[in-house]
Amino acid sequence: MVDVILGLQWGDEGKGKIVDYFAPGYQVIARFQGGPNAGHTLYVNGTKIVLHQIPSGVFHESTVNLIGNGVVLDAVTLKKESQKVAEHGIDVRKNLFIAERTHLILPTHRALDKASELAKGNEKIGSTLKGIGPAYMDKTGRNGLRVGDLLDKNFTTQYIKLRMKHQRLLDSMNFQEDITAWEEEFFEAVEFMRELKVVNGEYFVNDKLSKGAKVLAEGAQGSMLDVDFGTFPFVTSSSTISAGVCSGLGIAPQKIRDVLGVSKAYCTRVGSGPFPTELENETGEELRKLGSEFGATTGRPRRCGWIDLVALRFACMINGVTKIVMTKADVLDSFEQLQVCEQYKVNGQLTAEVPYQMLKSKIEPIYTALPGWKTDITAVKSYADAPAKMKEYIDHISKYLGVEISYVSNGPGRDQIISA
């Protein structure tokens, strides 16, 4: 049995905390896509920890953590992250496994990412410059190096061959970057990775399932950044939706039971791209301040706005969401009135559907106003004790989406989750 936790917006929904909360009920936690542009924030014994590639179940010693083949892996980031986790008494060599089919992010991928973004000028996508897009391009172009290649005695030769190919491409883009330091770091991290447990990921996870293990598949980014269904071209380079679990871990569709979609009580987005409910005013600034909305990976200020139910219903549909976890409800505590977007006016026409290409349409969000609860909810332990106006807000959204909001996060702490 496999359950899935993924984001329903543009990422940054607080998935790390949610995976950490549910992890004790599972024997395997598996990341199925994305790269080190993901930043999953956890609070362990009051200390803030940001995980970029290691699954969020790593602090539960009884769980096994798998980095699946759908991920693109940065060895340098993994080494640094492992050292940070070790400061909290966790040795990843014991409970972290990596699928041998997982593609590697190389130093030249980072250079290509930077060159590509510079070439776009004012039309930048907002890449984190981690080399993720070029790594996925090499994967689909059948050029990449994979974790299993680390065990090959000819790995360095394979790397040099691919590096030369990348260098020709960089030369054609008139991009010059000394990546010597990056390469030194990379090969040091490669030696560290050789100490970790590399497995045939699809046999590994299916063997666990055949023995009755419960698997939690952890997504990165959000559904509106999916390479097929997101706000293209301002998307990530992988499949962020539940379908990506099958290709990203080697799991059959019928093995999936629940899909838990995570959504903030409002909306945020990092980087460029369409964002219909963005508030470029004092209210948006207030949301940013109250929610500490700065990227966990980049530190960039997040764009903020009211919750977008048109996009959220679309995300629930394509993911087959069975339950919703609403995060950061406490950020709305001080607002007198709340707005929820239930329709778009696209080029003068009302619609409740996400258009094919948001950039080519003039989109005006159509809001419904709901009363705020004007109460500090951070100490609330049960849904019965939650403010009536908060329940109205949650019920209204659940009814619109046709999916129950089953859990509400009312603060950053591990225990600040209310079962609705």
168, amino acid identity: R
Distance CA(39)–CA(16), nearest Å, equals 8
Q: What phi and psi, each to the nearest 5 degrees, are found at residue 74?
A: -100, 110
Q: Which position among 20, 40, 52, 166 bears the catalytic label?
A: 40
Q: Does the annotation count 12 as an active-site position?
A: yes
Q: What phi and psi, each to the nearest 5 degrees, are found at residue 370?
A: -130, 150
Report how far apart, in Å, the C-alpha atoms of 94 and of each of 21, 239, 276 are.
21, 29, 45
Q: Alpha helices of 141-221 — where are they, by DSSP H?
A: 155-172, 180-193, 201-210
Per DSSP, 123 falls in state G
Distance CA(108)–CA(90), nearest Å, equals 31
Distance CA(72)–CA(145), nearest Å, equals 10
Q: Which two tokens stand for residue 202?
A: 């699809």
Taking the CA atoms of residue 210, residue 260, residue 30 and residue 301 in that order, the dihedral angle to the nearest 10 degrees is 180
Q: Which two tokens stand for residue 29?
A: 């936690």
Distance CA(300)–CA(158), nearest Å, equals 36
Omega within 30 of 0 (cis) for the link into 233? yes
Distance CA(224)–CA(312), nearest Å, equals 9
Maximum Cα–Cα distance across the chain? 65
* DSSP H/E element including 65: strand 64-67
Q: Which position among 3, 12, 20, 74 bears the catalytic label?
A: 12
Report how far apart, in Å, the C-alpha atoms of 411 and of each of 18, 22, 43, 380 are.
12, 16, 11, 10
Give catalytic residues, as residue numbers. Answer: 12, 40
